[in-house]
Structure 1
């Protein structure tokens, strides 16, 4: 049933409520002095439900939650969540400063339930220019007027073009896995992608002796199944001081640097690689029925259906030749891509979009040719301008604080002055 049309005004309106805009909403609630509204099409907070695998762990410390690194005293911290649930000691004993992805989603949901600014089940239809404001119109008929937008609608699962039309029970993106739950027991399964999500899917498929595939082929275009670089100096790429340094580089240099840093964010946790290797070894010595092939330096070039099976064409980069593999199920762990949001189409011609994405200022506001007092901030759309940490959880609280400081026109949150062991420029003696 269509709701009765309502019009309200707010200081800021957020579109999409994933971890990043949830961080913004929580910090805004703590700061006070702002009227905010956040819209999301989902019925409740969900964090990649199709990839919520039973043994999946967070790849960063839980201190990199929604608020702590911007406001350590916030009531919306992960530690306060554990305290509220009565399991703070058992959690620390069990996990140290780590968390399972399932429990971290529960934390996100706990915070979301406390924020009156969020409206679920609200699909934003369009953003248009009104009289001195943006007008955010929902499919329900509700309209919000504001001078400040925060875009947090996230990225979309990426599939190769040749796989898009086949997506379903046999061909799926990793984000579909726990919702589609394809039949894999006793079947030939291929997992495409040598990053963390690929490793988590492989681990899941190997976890139950009673439902193992007949064969498992894991394909990576990289030189091997490579670990994430989690060393201290590499982790300084995920610190505020590095964002400022990265922004000072030319666009050409930034692209080169990002390419060289991929394993800092897209590699596999070493503990999971060891677990998979050990599991495959145990299956080998037990003489079980599973056949497995881990194939590096191969890229899936095409995919087609032949009867009930799927034929996968692969390019062997080492030998520069084509190879073929027949399977029953293919899971693409090929990441996510940003695209221009449909609801923003009325403003497309006024927003600066370059070949590598939006033009994003230091405070995460977009370059556009509209009134200067109307601002559009983006969450996780600025990797090419702000660095490798942009799509990562590590700096989400800091970025939200920086956005809120810009909106408020004052330093509500301390975002500068964090020290770094690494010097990004020699400077002058």
Structure 2
């Protein structure tokens, strides 16, 4: 059976859930969002008990675009009869498991979501895009692609595919018992900190040692101050998008800690745990923190486990660290989904294989303009540091929906601070250079 659609979504993570929720009330648009999972779940591998969201609950799937939506976080609280309890609890940050439950609730309510449908291949023909699944196919005028990211496995770790060498995206599903084990955590961001705290808690047993390696010069806090948060506003994204591509990567790299630092609460919790274990309980966890270390090699040890070699950027020396268990908190990569392989030669990608996105998040591609491909979480170097974050999910979803409709169904503008990102008399020159 072939389904005829105006918009087909590939993937149903938070970003495409946002677009689906904003499209759901529009009766004139036939949309359906496909995902290979049988049941919706958001980052189950890192749903640790005490993990918290690093952004405001108001930056949910829809509120910034439609505060009256039935799919808002506030609507979720009311539906679950806990609005007042939530307000009175005065959480500084929402627990991640509650936000995950909100996302699951939205997924269960959406009429245009189809789970257990993996898009195997996308072809383009006279009638638009054809999506093929094991169960059949669908045709659509436009695509909205949000298949998520791929765990980044460093080259030195790739030969060691082993249950005791795991990436954080599978931490809760695969972490072995660590009682008496030498555990090494690689990566100095939020995920690395959460794993270290979990290992120190004793829930997985008592490790013989925990060694935490990071390329950063120390454990660096997330920069969530008001002016830094201006990077996560529509006004800044507009200014950033107009820049020539050659200027963008360096700017994004300088802003790393606005999206990839450790939350101050987590750092405080970690420091307090070290103090308590070291001075009050006498139960030292043998945690050693090794900053400025860039792992260069990982070799199997003769007695079992591995030996990691890391360059010390502080003194220029090399460290050897022995491990029975290695946890990779090494982040994620964005790549062109396999199902788009038939179209890849028609997609305009940069030399690094990244999507080149227009202001409305559509891809430059060698195809008719009346058929567009929108990409979510693929514009870190086109739209800026906010692109992979939840902060602008609703705004980006509204931008895509407005583009598809050819009208401003949802408001996407916001009042800017008196910050002039670009030099006024150079704005036109920047536009010309970008073109």
Q: TM-score range by the shorter chain?
A: over 0.9
Residue number among 388, 408, 431 corresponding to 1:411 in the alignment:
408
Q: How does 1:147-296 map to 2 (within 5 A)?
A: 147-208=141-202, 211-285=205-279, 286-296=281-291
1:277-311 superposed Cα distances (whole Å, 9 cap, x missing partner): 11012111133252111011001111122242211
Task: Give the conservation status (yes or no) of the 8 Å contact 1:62–1:97.
Answer: no
Q: Structure 1 210/172 Cα, relative in aligned 2: closer, same or farther at 3 Å?
A: closer
Task: Give the conservation status (yes or no) of the 8 Å contact 1:190–1:330.
Answer: yes
**1-structure distance, mates of 2:161, 2:171:** 12
The match for 1:322 is: 318
Residue number among 68, 86, 89 corresponding to 1:91 in the alignment:
86
Instruction: Name the TM-score, length of structure 1 as normaliser.
Output: 0.96
Instruction: Name the TM-score, length of structure 2 as normaliser.
Output: 0.94
The match for 2:330 is: 334
Q: Which moved more, 1:86-95 or 1:243-252?
A: 86-95
- Structure 1: gaps of 5 or more residues: 1-5
Residue number among 389, 392, 414 corresponding to 1:392 in the alignment:
389
**1-structure distance, mates of 2:288, 2:414:** 49
Task: Give the conservation status (yes or no) of the 8 Å contact 1:127–1:346.
Answer: yes
Residue number among 131, 145, 150 corresponding to 2:126 in the alignment:
131
**2-structure distance, mates of 1:18, 1:420:** 31
Equivalenced residues, count: 422
The match for 2:138 is: 144
1:257-286 superposed Cα distances (whole Å, 9 cap, x missing partner): 111000000000011101101101211113
**1-structure distance, mates of 2:101, 2:47:** 12
**1-structure distance, mates of 2:161, 2:54:** 28
Aligned-residue offset at 1:210: 8.3
Aligned-residue offset at 1:214: 1.4
Aligned-residue offset at 1:249: 1.3
1:350 and 2:346 aligned: yes
CA RMSD of aligned residues (A): 1.4
The match for 1:59 is: 54
**2-structure distance, mates of 1:210, 1:107:** 28
Secondary structure of 1:334's aligned partner: coil
Q: Which moved more, 1:124-133 or 1:258-267?
A: 124-133
1:166-199 superposed Cα distances (whole Å, 9 cap, x missing partner): 2332101011110012111221111111111111
**1-structure distance, mates of 2:204, 2:243:** 53
The match for 1:313 is: 309
The match for 1:3 is: none
Secondary structure of 1:76's aligned partner: coil
Q: Structure 1 72/263 Cα, relative in aligned 2: closer, same or farther at 3 Å?
A: same
Secondary structure of 2:227's aligned partner: helix
**2-structure distance, mates of 1:250, 1:425:** 12
The match for 2:68 is: 73
Residue number among 19, 23, 27 corresponding to 1:32 in the alignment:
27
**1-structure distance, mates of 2:391, 2:355:** 22
Task: Give the conservation status (yes or no) of the 8 Å contact 2:166–2:175.
Answer: no
Aligned-residue offset at 1:46: 1.0
Q: Structure 1 283/94 Cα, relative in aligned 2: closer, same or farther at 3 Å?
A: same
Secondary structure of 2:401's aligned partner: helix
1:27-75 superposed Cα distances (whole Å, 9 cap, x missing partner): 1003332110111011111111111111100000000000000101101
Task: Give the conservation status (yes or no) of the 8 Å contact 1:63–1:97.
Answer: no
Aligned-residue offset at 1:420: 2.8
1:304 and 2:299 aligned: yes
**2-structure distance, mates of 1:209, 1:61:** 29
1:427 and 2:408 aligned: no
The match for 2:107 is: 112
The match for 1:382 is: 379
Q: Structure 1 171/73 Cα, relative in aligned 2: closer, same or farther at 3 Å?
A: same
Secondary structure of 2:249's aligned partner: helix
The match for 1:121 is: 116
Q: Structure 1 324/262 Cα, relative in aligned 2: closer, same or farther at 3 Å?
A: same
1:7 and 2:2 aligned: yes
**1-structure distance, mates of 2:308, 2:375:** 38
